[in-house]
Amino acid sequence: MGEEEKKHSDGVVGQTMPANRVDDAVEYLEGHSDVADTQDVDISALRRKIDYRIIPFMFCCYVLQFLDKVMLNYAAVMGIKKDLGLVGNDFSNTATWFFIAYLIAEVPNVYLLQKTPAAKWLGLNVTLWGVAAAASAGAHDYRSLLVSRIFLGIFEATIGPSLMLLSSQFYTRSEQAPRFTFWYLGLGVAQIIGGIISFAFQQVHHTFAGWRIMFLVLGLVTMLVGVLTMLFIPDTPMKARWLSETEKIALLRHVSVNQTGVWSSRVDMRQIWEAVGDVQLWLLTLTTICTSVSSGVVTTYSATLINGFGFTPPHSALLNTPSGIVSIFFTLAVGIGIRRVSHRWAWFIFCTIPGIIGGALMSFLPKHNKAGVLIGIYLVNAIVATLPILYQWTMANCAGHTKRAFASALVAGSFSVGNIIGPQTFQARDAPEYRPAKIAVLATQAAAGTLAFVLFLYYVWENRRRVKAAGEGEEEVIDETKWAGLTDRENRWFRYVY
C-alpha cells in the first residue's frame, strides 16, 4: 500500500481510503496511543462538564441571533416606518433582503466552515452582526436600513451550521437531541424577552427614538457575547483546554459510534457532489422551506398582526410574548420526547398539527374574534420546534466532514428561502387582514408534515435495504469505519436515525 493510503476499510472488500479522507481525530488518537486506559472516566460526569462549558454560550448566541433579527418586528410598532419614511412594501423588502443575504452567505460558509476553526468563526460573526445591529440605530431612510439588514443577514448566516457542527463533535447522536433543544430554546426565550424589551424601550421618551436605543443596546450586548464565544468555546474536543488528555481520548472514543467524524480541514469535492445527489438532503431542504415560511411570518409580522386588532404598540409587544411560551413548550416536548422514545418524524408531525390549527384560525375566523385569531397566532409558533429536529437529522444522518458542512449550509440556506417567501406573502394591498399570507401558513404547515412522513419512509426503506445487502455485521470492519472519513453512502454499516 502506498504512502497516500491508510488501512481503513470503507466496508467494501478490496478498497482502501486515501489518507486525506481520514478525520483529524485519528491523528490525535495516534499521537496519544500511550493513553490506553480510560475506564476510570465517568462519561456522565464528562458530558455534564462539557454541557456547562459550551451550551450556555450556544444558548446566548441563539437568543441574540433571534433578538437582533426579530427587533425589526417590534420596531414596526415603535414608529420605524414613520421615522424612516417606509412606504408600500419597503418594510417587507427589508425583511426579505436580510434572508437573501443570509442565503447567499451560505455558499462561502461551506468552504469557510472547513478551513476555519468553527468556534472562532462563530464568535467573529456574532461580533460582526452585533456591529450591524447597532448600526441599524443610525438608519435615516429605507436604503440605510436595508444596508444594515443585509450585513446582519451575512453575519448571522453561520449561526445554524456552526452550532450544528460544534454540537455534533461533542455528543453522540442520541445525546445531540436534548443539546440541540437547549440552545434552540433561545428562540422562545428571545420571543418573550423581545416583547418585554420592546415594551420597555417604548416607555423611553427622548429625542433619540426608542427603537434606535433598542437596536444600539442589543448590538453592544451581542458584540460582547461574540468576543466571549471566541475566547471560551473550543473549536474541537481536541482543543478543549479544560479537558485532560485522558478525558479527550475517552470523549473521542465515546462519540466514535456516530461514524460521522469530528473534524477535517480538507475539502473533498466528491462529498459535495454526493450531497447534491442525496435524496434525503433534498427532502430535508423542501421540509425546511415549508417550515420556514411560517417562521418568516412570525419573525417579521406577528406584532403587526396583533397591532392590527387595535391594540396600542406597547400592548402589541407584550401580547406577542405568549408566542415564546408556546415555542418553549413544544421545543422542550420535542427534545425530551426524542431523547426517550426517538421517532423524530412523529414529533415533527406532532408540532405541525397545532401549526395547521393556528393557520386555520388566522385564515378563516372573522377579524372581530380577537381571542380566536390571537390563539391562532400563538399556535403557529409550535412549528418552530421542528427546526431542531431538521438540524438533528442533518447532523446525525450525514457523515463525512465536507458533506456535513455542505448539508448544514444547505439546510440553513433552505431556512432562508422559506423566510424570504414568508414576508413576501404580506403585500400592502392585502392589509389589514393579510388573508393570503395566513392561508400560506396553513398550506405550508400541512406540506411540511407530509414531507416529514415521506422522509421517515425513505429512512426505513434505506436501512432495510442496507441490512439486507450487508448481512451480519463484522464488528472489526464496523470499528474501522468510525474514523475513516466515509460518508453515510460510502459506509454500508451506517444506519439512519428517524
Q: Which H or E run includes 6?
A: strand 5-9
Give me the pLDDT at residue 26, please. 75
Give me the pLDDT at residue 163, please. 92
Is the predicted pLDDT of residue 68 greater than 50, yes or no? yes
Give me the pLDDT at residue 10, please. 36
* Mean pLDDT along residues 279-286: 94
Q: Which H or E run includes 465?
A: helix 435-470
Tens digit of each residue's pLDDT (9 = 90 or more) over 315-369: 877 888 888 899 999 999 998 888 888 789 999 999 999 988 988 887 788 878 8
Of 122, 126, 138, 406, whose CA–CA distance to 264 is shortest?
406
In degrees, rounded to 5, the angle at the alpha carbon of residue 56 between the alpha carbons of residues 55 and 59 is 85
Is the predicted pLDDT of residue 76 greater than 90, yes or no? no
Question: Which residues are CB-contacts of 390 (< 8 A; sequence separation ≥ 6)?
Answer: 284, 287, 288, 291, 411
Give me the pLDDT at residue 227, please. 96
229/23: higher pLDDT? 229
Tens digit of each residue's pLDDT (9 = 90 or more) over 196-207: 888 888 887 777
Of 16, 78, 27, whose CA–CA distance to 312 is shortest?
78
Tens digit of each residue's pLDDT (9 = 90 or more) over 430-447: 776 677 777 887 888 889
Is the predicted pLDDT of residue 413 greater than 60, yes or no? yes
Q: How confident is the model at residue 173 (pLDDT cuts 50, 70, 90)?
A: confident
Question: How far apart are the C-alpha atoms of 348 and 334, rounded to whole Å?
Answer: 8
Give me the pLDDT at residue 11, please. 35
Contacts 24+ apart (CB under 8 A), 331-334: 331/181, 331/184, 331/185, 331/187, 331/188, 331/384, 331/385, 331/388, 332/181, 332/185, 333/385, 334/181, 334/385, 334/386, 334/388, 334/389
Tens digit of each residue's pLDDT (9 = 90 or more) over 25-61: 777 877 777 766 777 889 999 999 999 999 999 999 9
| Burial of residue 227, with CB atoms counted within 10 A of its CB: 0-12 exposed, 13-18 middle, 19 or more buried | middle
Is the predicted pLDDT of residue 8 greater than 60, yes or no? no
* Structure-derived torsion over alpha carbons of residues 179, 185, 187, 193, reported in degrees to the nearest 10: -140
Q: Which H or E run includes 91?
A: helix 90-115
Question: Which residues are CB-contacts of 354 (< 8 A; sequence separation ≥ 6)?
Answer: 326, 330, 379, 380, 382, 383
Domain annotation for the chain: domains and CATH numbers: 46-242 (1.20.1250.20), 269-497 (1.20.1250.20)
* Mean pLDDT along residues 460-485: 68
Is the predicted pLDDT of residue 3 greater than 60, yes or no? no
* Mean pLDDT along residues 375-398: 89
Give me the pLDDT at residue 24, please. 74
Contact indicator for 121, 229 with CB cutoff of 8 Å: no
Which residues on adjacent β-strands are paired with residue 18? Answer: 5
Is the predicted pLDDT of residue 481 greater than 70, yes or no? no
Q: Which H or E run includes 9?
A: strand 5-9
Structure pTM? 0.81
Tens digit of each residue's pLDDT (9 = 90 or more) over 116-153: 888 999 999 999 999 999 999 999 999 999 999 999 99
Contact indicator for 283, 414 with CB cutoff of 8 Å: no
Is the predicted pLDDT of residue 210 greater than 50, yes or no? yes
